[in-house]
Amino acid sequence: MSARSSDGGPQPIGGRSRAGAGGRLAALDGVRILAALAVVFYHYVVLESAWGEPTVGVFPVASRLAVYGWLGVEVFFLVSGFVICMSAWGRTVGDFAVSRVSRLFPAYWTGIAFTSLVLFTWPEVRPVEALSDVVVNLSMLQGGVGVPHVDDAYWTLFAELKFYVLFSAVVIRGVTYRNCVLFCGLWTVAAVVAPTVDNRVLSFFAITPYSPYFIAGIAFYLMRRFRPSAVTWAIVGVQFVLAQHYVHSRMLTSLGRGVTERTPAWPAHVIITLGFLVMAAIALGLLDGIRWRWLPHAGAVTYPFYLIHMMAGLTIIHHFRDRVAPVPLALGVTALMLTLAWIIHRLVERPLGRVLRDGLRRGLQDIRSGTPVPPALPRLPAQPSAPEAERIPSIR
């Protein structure tokens, strides 16, 4: 019989979390960078808007592989479920919110500024319709208020925000084994039911095609922190089946009907299977021996790289497509975006994230302690008492 923790779940391995359960995992950084490169490969080699012609003629071999690069987003969601569960453990909802805001927004604001500058300068692939759209995009809420994304890749960030809102319910109750399992079960039911009912709120938050990845990521982290169990394997198994079920609809969304009809689906099923297997290996500690020093650095630039690569990169490719050969141009733009992402990470994301985090923490402490906010206007002097008023000379 296995030991039980105070919340009814299993004890962490060895009486505590598995080594590395709360630390940075190099293998996870490797998964991040591979997923990001897959998405970039798809955008630069498959999308015709950059090249002005069908890409099968530009990249006859590479396009047949790159057509599956959109699956990098699904892998991102798998990693996100794992990381968010790990980073939220032991935190209050306020701490969780501070960590997410300070992590996401500095690089995001920079990505919007950079992409907007490129699109305003070279409105070749797609112009920015209005400056007000850029301002709304700064909130990351444009997907909910019907404002176009400055960069089409930002739709994934809104899906992430929905996940954070949902998972904050677990954080409020306390991130425990039992609460995480309950959350996974409830979200699975909601995601399955949502397409069959006419409920906009349920459909909005269920994010049905993507929820299997977030949920499986949570279950994989529970395996890593504690140990695999029939419950966590069952959660992963159900999500795996659902993820495979949604492959066709995701191909239609990403590729369109014409390309989907002439593109075999089996490689997409294989890639999803490999993604689940790699995450399972990380959860079981099978990849803990991977400790290459460059991986954490590569993983750190993944987020800014994702933020700036798409519309700005497609615009640069379109601008130079008649002057530079396709392969050197695509590789050169990828290298440029990686370099800019590293600069953003070093000069903006890290320092501004630290400042934002410290400021939000101070504000959170003020709220918790009940410290009053200083008045915006100086207080007026108190009215003098009657005897004092008699001594004050009046102006006639």
pLDDT in tens, 7-56: 556 766 644 444 344 457 899 999 999 999 999 999 999 999 999 899 99
Q: Determine, yes or no, domain membership for 2.
A: no
Arithmetic mean of pLDDT over the chain:
89
CA dist., res. 169 & res. 16, Å (int) = 24
Q: Determine, yes or no, domain membership for 5.
A: no
Secondary structure of 57-73 in HEC code, one letter for each residue: HHCCCHHHHHCCCCHHH
Q: Determine, yes or no, domain membership for 345.
A: yes
What was the pLDDT predicted at 386? 45
Nearest CA to 175 out of 186, 183, 164, 185 is that of 183
Q: Determine, yes or no, domain membership for 11.
A: no
User: What are the tokens at 285?
Assistant: 């500690």
Q: Tell me how far CA of residue 54 lies from CA of 47, 51, 259, 375, in angstroms.
A: 8, 8, 11, 62
CB-based burial of residue 16 (10 Å sphere; 0-12 exposed, 13-18 middle, 19+ buried)? exposed
Residue with the bigger pLDDT between 260 and 82: it is 82
Q: How many CB atoms lie under 10 A from the CB of residue 120?
A: 12
Q: Determine, yes or no, domain membership for 9.
A: no
Contacts of residue 350, defined as CB under 8 A and 6 or more positions apart, other chains included, come to none
**Does residue 114 have a pLDDT over 90?**
yes
CA dist., res. 75 & res. 94, Å (int) = 28
Q: Determine, yes or no, domain membership for 82.
A: yes
- Stretch 222-245: mean pLDDT, rounded? 97
Q: How many CB atoms lie under 10 A from the CB of residue 22?
A: 16
Residues 96 and 180: beta-carbon distance below 8 Å: no
- Stretch 205-234: mean pLDDT, rounded? 96
CA dist., res. 35 & res. 174, Å (int) = 31
361: alpha, beta or left? (left if phi > 0; alpha if psi -120 to 50): alpha
Tens digits of per-residue pLDDT, 265-298? 999 999 999 999 999 999 999 999 998 889 998 9
**Does residue 374 have a pLDDT over 90?**
no
Q: How many CB atoms lie under 10 A from the CB of residue 284?
A: 15
Q: How many domains does the chain have?
A: 1
CB-based burial of residue 17 (10 Å sphere; 0-12 exposed, 13-18 middle, 19+ buried)? middle
pLDDT band of residue 366 (cuts 50, 70, 90) is confident
What was the pLDDT predicted at 369? 79
Q: Tell me how far CA of residue 115 lies from CA of 73, 120, 320, 353, in angstroms.
A: 20, 9, 17, 20
Contacts of residue 28, defined as CB under 8 A and 6 or more positions apart, other chains included, come to 79, 82, 83, 282, 299
pLDDT band of residue 346 (cuts 50, 70, 90) is very high
**pLDDT > 70: what percent of the chain?**
88
Residue with the bigger pLDDT between 215 and 9: it is 215
Contacts of residue 318, defined as CB under 8 A and 6 or more positions apart, other chains included, come to 49, 50, 51, 52, 122, 124, 125
Q: How many CB atoms lie under 10 A from the CB of residue 73?
A: 23
What was the pLDDT predicted at 2? 46
What was the pLDDT predicted at 21? 46
Q: Determine, yes or no, domain membership for 262.
A: yes
What was the pLDDT predicted at 388? 43
Tens digits of per-residue pLDDT, 134-164? 999 999 999 999 999 999 999 999 999 999 9
pLDDT band of residue 383 (cuts 50, 70, 90) is low
Q: Determine, yes or no, domain membership for 246.
A: yes
Domain that holds residue 141: 18-362
Residues 134 and 108: beta-carbon distance below 8 Å: no
Tens digits of per-residue pLDDT, 47-86? 999 998 999 999 999 999 999 999 999 999 999 999 999 9
